[in-house]
Amino acid sequence: MPKKYRVPVAAAPPRIRPIGKYATIEFREDCAGSCAECVRKRCVYGVFNENFLNMSSMVNPEFLYICQSCFRCVQECTKGIFSRVINPEYRSLGDDYWRADIIHQTWNQAQTGRIPVSGAGYRGPFVGEGFNSMWTDMSEIVRPTRDGILGREYINTSIELSRRPLRLEFREDMSLASEVFPMLDLPMPMVFQQPGFGILSKNVLLSMARAAHTLGTMMLIQPEDYSDDFAPYSSSLIPCLTRNSYLGFADLVKRSRMVELAYEPGIEEEFAGLRSLKPDLCISVGIPLDADAASRALNLAYTDVDTLHFHADNRGRELNAEEPRFLKEMIRDVHLKLVDNSIRLKVNLLFSGGIAMAEDVAKAIICGADGVAVDNPLLIALECRMCYRCLDGRSCPAKLEEIGLEWGSQRIVNLMGAWHNQLIEVAGAMGIREVRRMRGEVGRSLWFEDLERESFGPIFGERKVQGLGMR
């Protein structure tokens, strides 16, 4: 049996004091001082270990970064003087899509490499926009000894980015007559993408490239940001080129296993020129995720392209539309267009934009993607607060321009390790032992739109809710 794929996570503490969700309020003048052991010292998560310096002062509140919301300390304080409030600074993180809880959860995963746990359970709304109106089938979760991270069986999370023949042909002597294409296999269905904004200093980009190399995955990068410092990771980089620029980066193409060309009509005419530079090169085409995405995918699927990469906006929305659909609906459109024309198995589909959490990866694959490209979570792993100050030319409160390469790459590796474990948990709970089998398996998911239509549509009629895609 091949060696099981494991992500090399290691603790990577924050550089600056992170913004915790909770702050404590204590009325210390009422403290009995006679407890054998204060509830602070009995915290199972060690939340207060770094906060004991504040115990002798009532000036500064404690901001509890790694608190898991079990509230044991509040309940067990013998004098009832210990309470908790939401940190006002926490409310200022991110925006209505890249929410504070997503940022906070990403920081924690980047620090520990572990699956996030909430002692108070899920306390959000029953349904929301986008991926939050979709649930995965967890019917096999009753068999924890068979599946999952600690189970006996292996769960394969690898994907291919190279094209495949639709059928095999053999000669009379049964030797293979079909052309064998070069294979590009990744151990996880996640590639990295250079974020569209932020403090993208050399060490930030190097941290992403080094993490991709460590994980065995790949990173999409703009060629103008490439330098000799990236040479050790060149096999893990995918230069994003155009039909007019790729000849000017011929040396970079020869060092790469894969390149991406920006879509424009007739782009397939450049594939032969690219492969003349490197015959075993895998080619991806970057396509805007708009109303024409599915038809473009079908046309390109008949060419020698290996992967089609569709990019939505920063919030996973359709581009150039008055009422944009969310990523999950667009993935279904592209996937089913190829399925209906019996050519889906030939090419691979990557989607980017709005992938914020590990569960989004699994849901995108269920909708029909082969894999996803991750961008903004890589910045958040480096302590970005999604405050967008950099867009106005103001200073970065997280000082991303000062990060170290070792620290930055480990934080990203930790985040992907936590995401990889969650993907395994979802696959195991669904009874699936190969992530590629999740592709397009919408029957193993529940969609709020369908459930409401089937349950309440006959009574109240159909409706349309902006953002949920319901009609």
pLDDT per position as a tens digit, 346-364:
999 999 999 999 999 999 9
Q: What is the pLDDT of residue 151?
A: 55
> In whole angstroms, how far apart are CA 442 and each of 158, 272, 331, 422, 428?
20, 37, 12, 19, 16
Between CA 162 and CA 181 the distance in angstroms is: 8
Total Cβ atoms within 10 A of residue 174: 7
Half-sphere exposure of 416 (CA within 13 A, CB side): 34
Per CATH, the homologous superfamily of domain 159-449 is Aldolase class I (3.20.20.70)
Which segments of the chain belong to CATH 3.20.20.70? Answer: 159-449
* 108: number of Cβ within 10 Å: 22
| Burial category of 127 from C-beta neighbours within 10 Å (exposed 0-12, middle 13-18, buried 19 and up) | middle
Helix (H) or strand (E) holding 337: helix 327-340
pLDDT at 416 > cutoff 90: yes
CA separation for the pair 468, 128 (Å, rounded): 7
Cα-flanking dihedrals φ and ψ of residue 24, to 5°? -95, 150
Alpha carbon 8 to its chain's center? 18
Going edge to edge, which strands form the sheet with 63-64? 63-64, 22-26, 82-86
Determine the average pLDDT of the residues in 34-40. 74
pLDDT at 158 over 70: yes
Compute φ and ψ for 300, nearest 5 degrees: -75, -25
User: 27-31, 173-177, 268-272, 467-471 — which one is most confidently predicted on average?
Assistant: 268-272
What values do phi and psi take at 310, rounded to 5?
A: -105, 130
Tell me the helix, strand and coil percentages in the chain, rounded to 5. 40, 15, 50
Is 60 exceeded by the pLDDT of residue 471?
no
Which residue spans of the chain are classified as CATH 3.30.70? 22-91
| Helix pair angle (405-429, 202-215), 10° resolution | 40
For 305-346, the pLDDT digits (tens) are 999 999 999 999 999 999 999 999 999 999 999 999 999 999
> Can you give the pLDDT at residue 16?
86
Indicate if the pLDDT at residue 446 is higher than 80. yes
> To the nearest whole number, what is the mean pLDDT of the chain?
86
For the chain, percent of residues with pLDDT exceeding 90:
56
Q: What SS3 state is found at 88?
A: helix
From 1.10.3470, 3.30.70, 3.10.20, 1.10.1740, which CATH number describes the 22-91 domain? 3.30.70
What is the DSSP pairing of strand 219-221 with strand 190-193?
parallel
Output 190 or 391, whichever has higher pLDDT: 190
* Mean pLDDT of the 245-268 span: 95
